[in-house]
């Protein structure tokens, strides 16, 4: 059985609400097993610079409800070169880090896998990203919070849209994936949902919105992911072709912040417990996931070699719901 005395924790890539909850839970479940817990600062940059703090049950008190990550994070270049990977591997050895919990999204899991291939430190991925784009898990920590934030804001936008008979194009986050757009769109009853994964034409968007008017709708709502095209252009085109004022509202980074929802906190706790249990069993280079069987683990390799797909059935469902 591999040694498990020191656990490192690192938050990498874009922050997500619930990362703090995951750090707290990992530390406390780790302490229950008498582990020495180190929290690296500013993502991979902290591992590269050996910049860390020792975490204990009390040092992680009072952070459960806070958005962001108190360890801080970065979009680091540290793992982009072979020398970088070597340096991080050596630092983890020097600090006797037996296992490293990597909290982040799809890109972070690819980095963790790359590092795990070279290093004797065991990697455990904890999916934490508002984008929900990590293959193998139905949900990531932070996704539910981001969708709730977007829904709350778009509900307010709808009030003014209805009052003034306007059409709104609302842009939500998601450069490569449309999970936030799809779930938010269904939740707010968007007339059209645009995502990077689903091809569309400007003509089809215009036609859909014109049909809404024909069905008697006096205002309208388009929800689009930031990676689904140019929201300014879509707004301009709709404004030209529809017999209504069309406005654009880009929701932006507020979706990445804020206090985590109860669901995001709960998921963070369950993922952390599973992570410590799996490491105790001797597992290495794995990802904690939520799937049909509940919370479990899959090989990191499986996750990083596959692309998570959006559920197009939800789009079909929305077409009927917005009739
Ligand atoms: O963290 C995920 C995410 O917010 C995406 O939805 C978005 O496309 C991207 O990060 C923005 O990245 P950056 O933090 O580099 O501006």
Residue carrying structure tokens 């008190």: 61
Average pLDDT, consecutive stretches of 10 residues, N- to C-terminus, the chain (323 residues): 92 98 98 98 97 98 97 94 95 98 97 96 98 98 98 98 97 97 97 97 97 94 98 98 96 97 98 98 97 97 97 91 90
**Tokens 């006797």 label which residue?**
96
Task: Note whether 241 and 210 are within 8 A (CB).
Answer: yes
Of residues 15, 45, 98, 131, which has the active-site annotation?
131
Rounded Cα distance between 228 and 171, Å, is: 9
Asked if residue 136 has its Cβ within 6 Å of ligand 1, the reply is no
Find out whether 205 and 192 touch, Cβ atoms under 8 Å: yes
pLDDT (0 to 100) of residue 1: 64
pLDDT at 2: 81
In angstroms, rounded to a whole number, what is the distance separating the alpha carbons of residues 191 and 320? 10
Give the pairing of strands 52-55 and 36-40: antiparallel
Q: Is 177 in the pocket of ligand 1 (CB under 6 A)?
A: no
pTM of the entire structure?
0.97
Q: Check pocket membership of 226 for ligand 1, CB cut-off 6 A.
A: yes
Q: What is the rounded CA–CA span in Å between residue 34 and residue 276?
A: 11
- Structure tokens belonging to residue 152: 């709350």
CA distance 174 to 108: 16
Residue nearest to atom 2 of ligand 1 (CA): 14
Pocket test of ligand 1: the residue of 72, 108, 131, 142 to mutate, having most ligand atoms within 8 Å of its CB, is: 131
Q: What domains, with CATH codes, occur in the chain? A: 6-142+260-304 (3.40.50.450), 143-256 (3.40.50.460)
Measured CA to CA, the distance from residue 237 to residue 248 in angstroms comes to 12
Question: Measured from the CB, is residue 21 less than 6 Å from ligand 1?
Answer: no
Q: How many beta carbons lie within 10 A of that of residue 213, not counting itself?
A: 15
């Amino acid at each position: 059985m591999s040694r498990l005395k020191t656990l490192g924790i690192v938050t990498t890539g874009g922050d997500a609400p619930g990362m703090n909850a995951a750090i707290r839970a990992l530390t406390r479940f780790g302490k229950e097993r008498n582990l020495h817990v180190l929290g690296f600062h500013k993502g991979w940059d902290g591992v590269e610079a050996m910049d860390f703090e020792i975490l204990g049950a009390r040092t992680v008190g009072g952070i459960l409800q806070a958005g962001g990550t108190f360890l801080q994070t970065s979009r680091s270049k540290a793992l982009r070169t072979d020398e970088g990977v070597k340096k991080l591997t050596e630092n983890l050895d020097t600090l006797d880090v037996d296992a490293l919990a990597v909290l982040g999204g799809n890109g972070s899991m690819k980095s963790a896998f790359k590092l795990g291939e070279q290093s004797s430190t065991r990697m455990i991925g904890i999916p934490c990203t508002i984008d929900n784009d990590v293959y193998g898990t139905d949900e990531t920590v932070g996704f539910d919070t981001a969708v709730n934030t977007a829904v709350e804001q778009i509900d307010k936008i709808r009030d003014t849209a209805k009052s003034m008979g306007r059409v709104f194009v609302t842009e939500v986050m998601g450069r490569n994936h449309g999970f936030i757009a799809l779930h938010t769109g269904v939740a707010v009853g968007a007339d059209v949902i645009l995502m990077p994964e689903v091809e569309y034409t400007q003509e089809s968007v215009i036609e859909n919105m014109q049909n809404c008017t024909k069905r008697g709708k006096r205002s309208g709502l388009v929800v689009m992911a930031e990676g689904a095209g140019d929201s300014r252009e879509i707004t301009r085109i709709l404004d030209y072709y529809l017999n209504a004022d069309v406005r654009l509202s880009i929701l932006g980074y507020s979706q990445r912040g804020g206090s985590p929802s109860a669901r995001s906190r709960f998921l963070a706790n369950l993922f952390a417990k599973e992570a410590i249990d799996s490491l105790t069993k001797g597992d290495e280079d794995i990802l904690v996931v939520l799937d049909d069987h509940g919370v479990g683990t899959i090989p990191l390799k499986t996750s990083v070699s596959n692309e998570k797909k959006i559920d197009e059935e939800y789009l079909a469902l929305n077409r009927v719901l917005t009739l």
